[in-house]
Amino acid sequence: MLGTGFIARFYAQSIVAQRSKDIINVVYSRTLASGQKFADDFNVPHVITDMIEAINHPDTETVIISLPNNLHEEAVLACAKAKKNVLCTKPLGRTAAEAKRMLDAVEKAGVFGGYLEDLCYTPKFLKSCASVKAGSLGRVLWAKSRETHPGPHSDWFWDKEQSGGGAILDLGCHCVEISRNFIGKDILPVEVMCWADTQVKPIDAEDHAIALVKYQNGAIGQFEVSWTFRGGLDLRDEVMGTEGTIWINNFLRTGLEMFTTGKGADYVAEKAESNTGWLFPVGDEVNDLGYNHMFTDMFSSYEEKKDPRETFYDGYVVNAVIDAAYKSAKTKLWEPVKLDVWRGKTGLTKESNLVEYDADNYLVKEEMTHYGAKKLILKNKASGKIEERILE
Amino acid sequence: MLGTGFIARFYAQSIVAQRSKDIINVVYSRTLASGQKFADDFNVPHVITDMIEAINHPDTETVIISLPNNLHEEAVLACAKAKKNVLCTKPLGRTAAEAKRMLDAVEKAGVFGGYLEDLCYTPKFLKSCASVKAGSLGRVLWAKSRETHPGPHSDWFWDKEQSGGGAILDLGCHCVEISRNFIGKDILPVEVMCWADTQVKPIDAEDHAIALVKYQNGAIGQFEVSWTFRGGLDLRDEVMGTEGTIWINNFLRTGLEMFTTGKGADYVAEKAESNTGWLFPVGDEVNDLGYNHMFTDMFSSYEEKKDPRETFYDGYVVNAVIDAAYKSAKTKLWEPVKLDVWRGKTGLTKESNLVEYDADNYLVKEEMTHYGAKKLILKNKASGKIEERILE
Amino acid sequence: MLGTGFIARFYAQSIVAQRSKDIINVVYSRTLASGQKFADDFNVPHVITDMIEAINHPDTETVIISLPNNLHEEAVLACAKAKKNVLCTKPLGRTAAEAKRMLDAVEKAGVFGGYLEDLCYTPKFLKSCASVKAGSLGRVLWAKSRETHPGPHSDWFWDKEQSGGGAILDLGCHCVEISRNFIGKDILPVEVMCWADTQVKPIDAEDHAIALVKYQNGAIGQFEVSWTFRGGLDLRDEVMGTEGTIWINNFLRTGLEMFTTGKGADYVAEKAESNTGWLFPVGDEVNDLGYNHMFTDMFSSYEEKKDPRETFYDGYVVNAVIDAAYKSAKTKLWEPVKLDVWRGKTGLTKESNLVEYDADNYLVKEEMTHYGAKKLILKNKASGKIEERILE
Amino acid sequence: MLGTGFIARFYAQSIVAQRSKDIINVVYSRTLASGQKFADDFNVPHVITDMIEAINHPDTETVIISLPNNLHEEAVLACAKAKKNVLCTKPLGRTAAEAKRMLDAVEKAGVFGGYLEDLCYTPKFLKSCASVKAGSLGRVLWAKSRETHPGPHSDWFWDKEQSGGGAILDLGCHCVEISRNFIGKDILPVEVMCWADTQVKPIDAEDHAIALVKYQNGAIGQFEVSWTFRGGLDLRDEVMGTEGTIWINNFLRTGLEMFTTGKGADYVAEKAESNTGWLFPVGDEVNDLGYNHMFTDMFSSYEEKKDPRETFYDGYVVNAVIDAAYKSAKTKLWEPVKLDVWRGKTGLTKESNLVEYDADNYLVKEEMTHYGAKKLILKNKASGKIEERILE
């Protein structure tokens, strides 16, 4: 485990959770004290303050990178060199170029590489994704993901040098990959339009952004990210298809609602912006945020010698989409997604929007009237005329 | 009352509702049968098949236009000529040019003109708007409105000639005005970026669109509209401010939930796409969609000789924003909103995002740590350096 | 209008609301100042401090009683004597005996008598009731109503002498009538089991109670009432039938959700226990609590010379059920509901629970298995044996 | 593992889930085919068709009983005899007498005994319970649990001989223990009032029941159980305390909502009564129903040589409460809970409901008025008079 911060602790809570057979053998931290505290909390035998040494330690089988964004590449390259499996937190790189170098290094070294995109592993997301794949929504038209909260916990996020960007890179990486999963990972993201601004925080990076991502089959991805939202951690996804829709609320409305005047003893509510009034905790944060299912997929995939759901290649595609978003936010133009390597389908076109009704007409809509009859709206193929027809 | 269709009936149900003192004296319909049926249902003494005659009828005090979009201008001009008050359904025009001519005619004639934008009158919207005006959300950063459903009921909507456009014109007009109300009607909408497509329906107009509207003070409006949504009528608004957020669900989740196997007698659920399984009816559709409060505002404003909340000028601004959206969908560029007349504030700039902490630092974030201490993230004014500081 | 308190103001807001043609001509209050303030707010020409005089005033056509419970009888008898129509707030009496005398007086005088049970007029309730009557839930098995909040606003409620009781009388009267409406007003309530206690408040009356009401057809009514609930006004109803269920949330979760840090200007949220954090206001309180539809029904029924939905007789039945509840809370026994007059069906028995499957078997359950087959659980008519049967 | 039915599979999915180190060594089933299928699905090396043999198998360290209710006692006694640890599914016995014999056997044998009450281990329940224990709700006044669905899957549930009872025993056992956890396991349940009926199903046992359980400290528990609910699996808990409330929805409203027309490919929704329209799946059923946390507690408690959260003694208390409920349903009286052994607090009395305001007065209520003043309702200690006092 490289790193001992907020995300490293979440990972550890998941890895050594419940009845897990997995263990953390080595932890690396720049400062011995942090490393030691982490080791105490999670029963880690080795605390090391030199990253390369930690990677090369004989008890290190798989390296988990939980470091600030600017340190990912160095760590990944070191793992590749040491021929160690590597799991890297999100975003993979600060740019697609960085991500590409990491991807290449891992693939050339032939080690297992996993992209730790936890929000593509939440139980609700996995269930939804399965439904979408099974066709319950028909053809996917639009997939949106929203992640907003009042800003990250650690100082390095706020420093563009270390983080590489603001809310887009920090949160948008989740959203882009969520949309890709719903729309299909083999569908090429073509171009991106992005609005971004620094509305509230005294920082250089953006604290609020909205973007649209056009896919080659005509589907549209959308993300809404912000570090200025007030009210907690807002994690919602929506998908629309020709035959249905899915609404996911991962965090703020999950069926657990508590009101407290705050007069009770020393209770402090988790992650909420206040600890009185109506509060909406989740039951099991580690599980509900996808960490358990993510590490199960990672370790089990490795054991079964197959790719995990989220690979370094996925991380690279996400970075490419985000690069286009940043460029678009500046140029105010739809910017193409630049991918040196594309491993999905090619040459797709938008599906036809013509629904045959009979030899002469297309079907526009079919509905029940107030009085129980069936009403059709048809379009004549030849004339293009719209016609209403009531069937008894 | 000009027109006897779906919307005319909704208006009538509201106008003569409950203990109302208002009455409908004259109804105009091209076909006598429709007019007569409407007259029977709502106790209207006069049925007229000539529009001009209906407008000029001595018992006509205020004309309500519930006609297809392509007939609004003609009707408004006739009202102005006849010096009759006029309330026009949304959208005011098919284009800003049309809307401008209607606005000019009404103002020149000196008659009362009201813009029937019902979704800016739903009880939840009015309450939310009042809260926002009272400052409960701080400075408004973003206001989104979403209206999607499986497509309109009448044939003329699907014919671009008569309707003037698709989901943007039909539904986006609501959304634009909702955002304007939250952000401030006196704040200039500057430019628009819009994606639109015809993804499902065999029509010329768009059946799905998403747009961003930039305001002069840096706030951002957003709309999501579609005629391809499956699941009912999805009417949701969201507003984010520096001090809070509001989520409105006007239709599909309002606290009334019903499950039925459908084996019970001849029940048919309203507006839902099915009549078995889990259904989510609203309690009082006419009220919940804003019709009651809208006509109260219109008639009472007229009696009190003041402007209603929604005027022809508002309708014109909405059309101007929509014109820019349509243009943007074609050019793929951010398109300026072109307003010949602007009656709000001018020369606004984005508010500063610098929050003073002390002489040397800006405040980035303040939060409670897990262990109950107060943590600050500060930015040095001179160096720009980010620093974490823990207060006991 | 007799009274100028909290409930009188709600009534007035509804009666003179929006475009109403109804007016309040006379207001009675013990103190001139209160009467005058009320008159100013609602345009009432006559303020009178003598109740009998107010009732007999020539401009008084219908008397609305908004007085403490201990004054209902005197006021109703005076109205009957003066041959004035009378609408009385809930509960009708403090006991069934009081209610019976009021019922008799009104019926003997031949005046219009309406029971102002607003929660049987909320839009959601009316819609639900219509669905239940239409058979969408099949046979009703159970109907529960819950009303809890942190306690009433005025002092007299807390004084058992004036109020006649605590949460059961104040809130249970709503709940009993809601259940009766769902189960059928013509179905005899037979007996009541009630638990009641004074758990928190330093008063003589109960501040928390739960009761079951058995009906002659085997259906069961339930109420949960409390003056000790923390979190706002909790108004929820549930109905279960053989073919479905309905869940109503009238107040705390209606699709309007607001988070505010409270740093915004002087905003105060309505009815909530706090004005920061997550708040759940309703859109239009007067409408959502049923006042508009109630007075529409009352005045229109009078004009059309028919009974309103809620009559003095209904108020009497409710009091009889509540009498039984109070008795049960003391005796700890199921207590019979004592009704001197019963105007509904008699001699009902519980419906059979035997569902014919074929000549030899009753059907217990039919379900889909995981693997898509149809599974039946049957009971042999002769042997009583339970059997599982899988159909392909 | 004894048994291979619905619940055995749920247990197995949890025990060998994700990265678990635990394994199932032996499975017992009456029929070899069922045993073999189970063994294939969960990698179980030994399939045995003789229960005693399975218990005594050298690879059996802990026995998990997933058998019909009428077989629990025999299995537990055999485990005790074989000195094997034993985890028994709910309810422990069909009666308190059965449960007591099991408890005695396990304690005498000195083996580890765990009561598999999964709904006291759902993530939401654990989080809520921790909040309640931390005092966030103040003193607990009432704790309700509701479990209703359209009836169990297997035939033996419907046969009173094997099951020992209907919805009360099957579902009420969960509810009783949930309330006990919230109110305090050391608080004596004193007496029970229960209504039960067979309203719909052609069976001998009850298919619908509601009960109140009075605790020695004045708190009240409540359960609502049914096999006749239509709409899916309704699992809701509520707790009210002097300082707050908690609402838990474990299954039907958890933040995942899907609409589907059903035209998409062969999708079948889980556990729902239909597979079209609005559906509400849970993300991770095994986790959300508490199985993971339950087995973690069981196995870890055993390793750490401490009692699990839910013991055989808890199962015995639950059976004693249910016995009283069944008796009450027949006698229509509040029936005492008969416990041969009580290991909690004794001699508790109801807490005082007097809240001191000053030397002369008790505080009844404190609230904000519309106009922002603080209003007090006080009760004079000497005279008992209620007084309203406005503070500026």
Nearest-neighbour CA in chain B from C164: distance (Å): 33
Least confident of A75-89, A263-277, B280-294, D47-61: A263-277
Nearest Cα neighbor of D145 from D287, D240, D254 is D240
Which pLDDT belongs to residue D392? 67
What are the φ and ψ backbone dihedral angles of C211, each rounded to 5 degrees?
-145, 155
* β-sheet with C386-391: strand ranges across: C361-368, C374-380, C386-391
Which pLDDT belongs to residue A369? 72
Chain A contact residues (CB < 8 Å to C): 230-232, 259-261, 273-274, 276-280
The helix (run of H) or strand (run of E) holding residue B391 is: strand B386-391
- Mean pLDDT, rounded, for D15-26: 92
Nearest CA in chain D to A15: D19
Provide, as residue numbers in chain C, all residues whose Cβ is less than 8 Å from the Cβ of B126.
283-284
Which pLDDT belongs to residue A370? 66
Non-local CB neighbours of D159 within 8 Å, separated by 6+ positions? C385, C386
Reduced DSSP (H G I as helix, E B as strand, rest coil) percent helix, strand, coil of chain B, to 5:
35, 25, 40
Which pLDDT belongs to residue B370? 66
Provide, as residue numbers in chain D, all residues whose Cβ is less than 8 Å from the Cβ of A366.
none
Tell me what the pLDDT averaged over chain B comes to: 93
> Would you say residue A266 has pLDDT above 60?
no
* Measured distance CA(C22)–CA(C14) in Å, rounded: 10
> Would you say residue C264 has pLDDT above 80?
no
Nearest Cα neighbor of D82 from D106, D104, D99, D64 is D106
Nearest Cα neighbor of D100 from D341, D310, D308 is D341
The answer to whether C245 contacts B254, with C-beta atoms less than 8 Å apart, is no
Bridge-based pairing of strands C386-391 and B256-260 is unpaired
Non-local CB neighbours of D302 within 8 Å, separated by 6+ positions? D62, D85, D112, D114, D308
Nearest CA in chain D to B274: D277
Measured between its terminal Cα atoms, the distance across chain A in Å is 69
The answer to whether B279 contacts D280, with C-beta atoms less than 8 Å apart, is no
Other C-beta atoms closer than 10 Å to the C-beta of C333 total 16
On the 0-12 / 13-18 / 19+ scale of CB atoms within 10 A, D387 is middle
* Measured distance CA(C8)–CA(C41) in Å, rounded: 12
Which pLDDT belongs to residue A270? 47
Provide, as residue numbers in chain D, all residues whose Cβ is less than 8 Å from the Cβ of B259.
230-232, 273
Radius of gyration of chain D measured on its C-alpha atoms: 24
Q: Could you report the per-residue pLDDT of B303-337, keeping only the tens digit for each? A: 999 999 999 999 999 999 999 999 999 999 999 99
Amino acid found at D316: Y
Separate counts of helices (H) and strands (E) for chain B: 12, 17
Half-sphere exposure (Cβ direction) of D172: Cα atoms closer than 13 Å: 36
Amino acid found at C153: H
- Mean pLDDT, rounded, for B134-160: 94
What whole-number percentage of chain B has pLDDT above 90? 86
Nearest to D229 among C153, C240, C350 (CB): C240
> Would you say residue C269 has pLDDT above 50?
no
pLDDT band at D335 (very low <50, low <70, confident <90, very high): very high
Nearest CA in chain A to D253: A255
Task: Return the structure tokens found at C151.
Answer: 């306690």
Nearest Cα neighbor of C164 from C97, C106, C107, C224 is C97
> Would you say residue A392 has pLDDT above 80?
no
The answer to whether B278 contacts D280, with C-beta atoms less than 8 Å apart, is yes
Nearest-neighbour CA in chain D from C109: distance (Å): 37
* Measured distance CA(C98)–CA(C92) in Å, rounded: 8
The answer to whether A208 contacts B141, with C-beta atoms less than 8 Å apart, is yes
Other C-beta atoms closer than 10 Å to the C-beta of D67 total 23
How far from C240 is each of B70, B232, B364, CA to CA, in Å?
A: 49, 24, 52
* Measured distance CA(A155)–CA(B121) in Å, rounded: 44
What are the φ and ψ backbone dihedral angles of C219, each rounded to 5 degrees?
-70, 155
Alpha helices in chain C (DSSP H): 6-15, 32-42, 51-56, 72-82, 96-109, 123-133, 160-163, 167, 173-183, 285-288, 291-303, 312-331
Nearest to A332 among B220, B243, B334 (CB): B334
Nearest to B231 among D232, D274, D278 (CB): D278
Please name the residue that has the structure tokens 């899988």: C390
A221 and B242 in contact (C-beta within 8 Å)? no
- Mean pLDDT, rounded, for B220-246: 96
Neighbour subunits, C (≥3 Cβ pairs < 8 A): A, B, D
- Mean pLDDT, rounded, for C279-298: 93
- Mean pLDDT, rounded, for B277-296: 93
pLDDT band at C273 (very low <50, low <70, confident <90, very high): low
Nearest to A268 among B230, B372, B377 (CB): B372
Least confident of A186-195, A289-298, C347-356: C347-356
> Would you say residue D202 has pLDDT above 70?
yes
- Mean pLDDT, rounded, for D323-332: 98
pLDDT band at C268 (very low <50, low <70, confident <90, very high): very low
* Measured distance CA(C212)–CA(C335) in Å, rounded: 11
- Mean pLDDT, rounded, for D291-302: 95
Provide, as residue numbers in chain A, all residues whose Cβ is less than 8 Å from the Cβ of C260.
230
* Measured distance CA(B145)–CA(B212) in Å, rounded: 11
Which pLDDT belongs to residue D370? 66
pLDDT band at C17 (very low <50, low <70, confident <90, very high): confident
Number of Cβ pairs closer than 8 Å across A and C?
A: 34
Q: Could you report the per-residue pLDDT of C100-138, keeping only the tens digit for each? A: 999 999 999 999 999 999 999 999 999 999 999 999 999
pLDDT band at A218 (very low <50, low <70, confident <90, very high): very high
Nearest to A193 among B193, B207, B372 (CB): B193
> Would you say residue C266 has pLDDT above 70?
no
* Measured distance CA(D139)–CA(D144) in Å, rounded: 15
Which pLDDT belongs to residue D263? 79
> Would you say residue B363 has pLDDT above 80?
yes
The answer to whether A278 contacts C280, with C-beta atoms less than 8 Å apart, is yes
Which pLDDT belongs to residue D363? 92
The answer to whether B158 contacts A193, with C-beta atoms less than 8 Å apart, is no
Q: Could you report the per-residue pLDDT of D139-185, keeping only the tens digit for each? A: 999 999 999 999 998 899 999 989 999 999 999 999 999 999 999 99
- Mean pLDDT, rounded, for C80-106: 98
The answer to whether D210 contacts C208, with C-beta atoms less than 8 Å apart, is no
* Measured distance CA(B57)–CA(B75) in Å, rounded: 14
> Would you say residue B281 has pLDDT above 60?
yes
Please name the residue that has the structure tokens 């719903």: A182
The answer to whether D244 contacts A255, with C-beta atoms less than 8 Å apart, is no
Task: Look at chain C and count its residues.
Answer: 392
Amino acid found at C353: N
Task: Look at chain D and count its residues.
Answer: 392
Nearest to D259 among B230, B259, B260 (CB): B230
Amino acid found at B379: K
Neighbour subunits, A (≥3 Cβ pairs < 8 A): B, C, D
Beta bridge partners, C215, equal C189
How far from A231 is each of A254, B245, D31, CA to CA, in Å?
A: 15, 7, 56
Which pLDDT belongs to residue D267? 45
What whole-number percentage of chain B has pLDDT above 70? 96
* Measured distance CA(D17)–CA(D10) in Å, rounded: 10
> Would you say residue A13 has pLDDT above 90?
yes
Cα dihedral sign, A256-A261-A262-A264: negative
Nearest-neighbour CA in chain B from D48: distance (Å): 43
Nearest CA in chain C to A278: C278
pLDDT band at A74 (very low <50, low <70, confident <90, very high): very high
What are the φ and ψ backbone dihedral angles of B214, each rounded to 5 degrees?
-90, 130
Which pLDDT belongs to residue B264? 65
* Residue B189, SS3 per DSSP: strand
Nearest-neighbour CA in chain B from C238: distance (Å): 10
> Would you say residue B270 has pLDDT above 50?
no
- Mean pLDDT, rounded, for B66-87: 97
Neighbour subunits, D (≥3 Cβ pairs < 8 A): A, B, C
What are the φ and ψ backbone dihedral angles of B71, each rounded to 5 degrees?
-105, 0
What whole-number percentage of chain C has pLDDT above 70? 96
Which pLDDT belongs to residue A273? 66
Which pLDDT belongs to residue A252? 93
Give yes or no for a cis peptide into C308 (omega within 30° of 0): no
Q: Could you report the per-residue pLDDT of C36-77, keeping only the tens digit for each? A: 999 999 999 999 999 999 999 999 999 999 999 999 999 999
* Measured distance CA(B77)–CA(D362) in Å, rounded: 71
Nearest to B228 among A141, A208, A385 (CB): A141
Q: Could you report the per-residue pLDDT of C209-243, keeping only the tens digit for each? A: 999 999 999 999 999 999 999 999 999 999 999 99
Provide, as residue numbers in chain C, all residues whose Cβ is less than 8 Å from the Cβ of D242.
200, 228, 230
Tell me what the pLDDT averaged over chain C comes to: 93
Provide, as residue numbers in chain B, all residues whose Cβ is less than 8 Å from the Cβ of C258.
128, 131, 136, 244-247
Which pLDDT belongs to residue D343? 97
Q: What is the DSSP letter of C49?
A: S
> Would you say residue D371 has pLDDT above 90?
no
Cα dihedral sign, D275-D281-D286-D291: negative
pLDDT band at D273 (very low <50, low <70, confident <90, very high): low
- Mean pLDDT, rounded, for B349-372: 86
Nearest to C259 among B124, B245, B255 (CB): B245
Alpha helices in B44-193 (DSSP H): 51-56, 72-82, 96-109, 123-133, 160-163, 167, 173-183
The answer to whether D279 contacts B274, with C-beta atoms less than 8 Å apart, is no
Non-local CB neighbours of D158 within 8 Å, separated by 6+ positions? C364, C365, C377, C379, C386, D151, D152, D201, D203, D205
Task: Return the structure tokens found at C216.
Answer: 């002659």
Which pLDDT belongs to residue B268? 45
Tell me what the pLDDT averaged over chain D comes to: 93
Mutate to test the interface with B, among D228, D259, D274 (most CBs of B within 10 A): D259
D254 and D291 in contact (C-beta within 8 Å)? no
Provide, as residue numbers in chain A, all residues whose Cβ is less than 8 Å from the Cβ of C231.
259, 278
Provide, as residue numbers in chain D, all residues whose Cβ is less than 8 Å from the Cβ of C155.
377, 386-388
Per-residue three-class SS string for chain A: CECCCHHHHHHHHHHCCCCECCCCCEEECCCHHHHHHHHHHHCCCEEECCHHHHHHCCCCCEEEECCCHHHHHHHHHHHHHHCCEEEEECCCCCCHHHHHHHHHHHHHHCCCEEEECHHHCCHHHHHHHHHHHCCCCCCEEEEEEEEECCCCCCHHHHCHHHHCCCHHHHHHHHHHHHHHHHHCCCCCEEEEEEEEECCCCCCCCCCEEEEEEEECCCCEEEEEEECCCCCCCEEEEEEEECCEEEEEECCCCCCEEEEECCCCCCCCCCCCCCCCEEECCCCCHHHHCCHHHHHHHHHHHHHCCCCCCCEHHHHHHHHHHHHHHHHHHHHCECEECCCCCCCCCCCCCCCCCCCECCCCEEEEEEEECCCCCEEEEEEECCCCCEEEEEEC
pLDDT band at B14 (very low <50, low <70, confident <90, very high): very high
Nearest CA in chain B to D229: B259
Nearest CA in chain A to D246: A258
pLDDT band at C370 (very low <50, low <70, confident <90, very high): low
- Mean pLDDT, rounded, for A30-57: 96
* Measured distance CA(C176)–CA(C91) in Å, rounded: 11
Least confident of A257-261, B187-191, C178-182: A257-261
A168 and A322 in contact (C-beta within 8 Å)? yes
Which pLDDT belongs to residue B391? 84
> Would you say residue A304 has pLDDT above 50?
yes
pLDDT band at C270 (very low <50, low <70, confident <90, very high): very low
Which pLDDT belongs to residue D18? 84
Which pLDDT belongs to residue C261? 86
